Amino acid sequence: MRVGIDYRPALVNREGIGRYVRELVRAMVELDFDGNLGLFGYTLAPSRYSRRQLGIEGTRAELLRLPLPSRVMPWLLGKLGKGVDDVVGGASVYHHTYPSPLPVREAAEVATVFDTIYTIPDSGYLDPEIARGMTERVRGLVGRAGRVLVPTEYVGADVAMTFGVLPAQISVTGLGCDHVARHLPAKVERPSEPYVLTVSRVDARKNHLRILEAFELLVKEGLPHRWVIAGTAGYGAEVFERALAESPARSRVEWKRNVPDEDLPLLYARSDCFLFPSLSEGFGLPPLEAMACGSPVVSSSVTAMPEVLGDAAFLVEPTDSERIFEATRRILSEPEIARDFMLRGRQKAREHTWKEAARHTLLAYQKAMDGADVGEGVRRAL
C-alpha cells in the first residue's frame, strides 16, 4: 500500500494541523512505513523546518516539494490529465490533510476533519466569510472521501450530523502529545515568580476574557502568580487586548506572542497550573501537552474536552468565570489537589501517543482501500 499525503501544513504551519501532519508522518517512519510514503508539499512559502527537524532525514519517505502557488496545481494536473496520486508515485491511498484538495485519479481518498467550529452560525469564533468558505470546502472534501478521519468521537458525531457522512465511514484516529518530551529538560527549576499558563491563539473561542476575569479574582485573593499567555493574536483578539489594557491585573499578565516549539515544554513544566477553559474544541492538544510536562490542568466541561481529558483535569463550566477562579484557586492553594491532578495528568498523557494515532490511521487507510459498501449517508434533521 503506497500512501500519498498532503504535506504542505507540515512545512509551513507551526501549530494545529502542521503539528498533526509532522508528528503523524514521524510516527509512521518509526513504524517502518516510510518506504510507502509519498509526501507532497506545494507552496511558495519557504519551509520552516529542515528534513532533520521533520524527522524524515535519512528515511525512505519521498518528499516532493514544488514551489508553486496552490491555485496553480489543479490547473496543471488537469492540463496533464493526471491526479495528485500520480504525482506521488502512483499512490493507492491519498490523504487530504487540508480542506483544499487536489484532483485524485485512481487512489482511495482519505480526509482529516479536526472540528466543525466553522459551521456554528454567528459564533464569533471566525470571520463569517471565512467560516462559510471552510464549511463548503469541507462539505466537498468529505463528499468525495471514502473515509473521514476525526480526532474524537465528539467530532465524528458532528461530522455525521452536519455533513451527512455515514458513521461507518468515519475513523477516530486521535492525536499524540509525546512530542513534547523531545524538548523537556531532565531537571526543571522553579521560576523566581510563580505563574499560571495558557497556550493557545487569542480569540473568542479560547475564552481569554473569562480567564482574565478569573485571574483578577486570584490577584484580589492575594495569590502571587502571574498569568503567562503563549499564542498569536487570532480573530477578534482586539477585544481581549482592550480588556487587558483596562484590567487592574494587567501588570501581572505577560503575553508571549511567538514562543518557539522547543521552548514550550519548559514553559509548561514550570507553571503551577495550566488554564484552558475553551468554549469549543475538536480535541484540545495543549492541555495534554501540559499534563505530559507535569502541570495540573483546569479545562472545560463541554465539547471534546471531557472525552480527551476525563478525570485527569479539573473540568469547569467555561462560561462561568467564578468557576474557573475557584478551580484554579484550589489547585494553587491546596497542594494535595494539585499533586493528584498532576499524577492523573501524567498518566492520561501517556495514553495519547503519535504511534498509536499512526496505527489507527494506517488501519483507516486499509479500510479506505477495501472500499466497503457503506450505504447512504445520514442527513441532518434540523
Same domain, yes or no: 65 and 169: yes
For the residues of 356-372, what is the DSSP string, one character each? HHHHHHHHHHHHHHHT-
CB 111 within 8 A of CB 20: no
In the structure grid, which three cell numbers stand for residue 322, read together? 467564578
CB 376 within 8 A of CB 328: no
CB 356 within 8 A of CB 176: yes
Same domain, yes or no: 171 and 183: no
Same domain, yes or no: 243 and 165: no
Size (the chain), residues: 382
For the residues of 47-107, what is the DSSP string, one character each? PSS-HHHHT-TTSS-EEEEE---TTHHHHHHHHHT--HHHHTTS-SEEEE-SSSPPP-SSS
Q: Give Dmax (Cα) for the chain.
A: 69
| pLDDT value at residue 381 | 31
Residue 150 resides in a domain? yes
- Separation between Cα atoms, residue 119 and residue 134, nearest integer Å: 8
| pLDDT value at residue 237 | 96
Query: What's the domain count of the chain?
Result: 2
Sheet of 3-6, strand order:
62-66, 37-42, 3-6, 93-96, 108-112, 147-150, 170-172
Domain harbouring 334, CATH code? 3.40.50.2000
| pLDDT value at residue 379 | 35
pLDDT digits (tens, 9 = 90+) for 109-147: 999 999 999 999 889 999 999 999 999 999 999 999 999
Phi, psi angle pair for 19, to nearest 5°: -60, -45
Same domain, yes or no: 328 and 206: yes
Same domain, yes or no: 147 and 206: no
| pLDDT value at residue 378 | 37
Residues of the chain with pLDDT under 70: 372-382
**Per-residue b or e along 310-338, where b marks 16 or more CB atoms closer than 10 Å to that residue's CB:** eebbbbbebeebebbbbbbbbbbeeeeeb
Helix (H) or strand (E) holding 323: helix 321-333
Look at residues 302, 303, 301, 322 and name the one whose alpha carbon lies nearest to residue 313. 301
**How many CB atoms neighbour CB 272 within 10 A?**
19
In the structure grid, which three cell numbers stand for residue 158, read together? 458532528
Same domain, yes or no: 198 and 317: yes
Domain span holding position 300: 179-350
- Separation between Cα atoms, residue 246 and residue 244, nearest integer Å: 5
Look at residues 232, 175, 226, 186 and name the one whose alpha carbon lies nearest to residue 349. 175
Residue 16 resides in a domain? yes
Same domain, yes or no: 206 and 232: yes
| pLDDT value at residue 100 | 86
**How many CB atoms neighbour CB 217 within 10 A?**
18
Same domain, yes or no: 138 and 249: no
Give burial (CB, 10 Å; 0-12/13-18/19+) of 10: buried
For the residues of 148-204, what is the DSSP string, one character each? EEESSHHHHHHHHHHH---GGGEEE-----GGGGGG--SS-PPPSS-EEEEES-BSG
Residue 377 resides in a domain? no
| pLDDT value at residue 42 | 87
Same domain, yes or no: 196 and 139: no
Phi, psi angle pair for 62, to nearest 5°: -100, 120
| pLDDT value at residue 71 | 82
| pLDDT value at residue 372 | 46
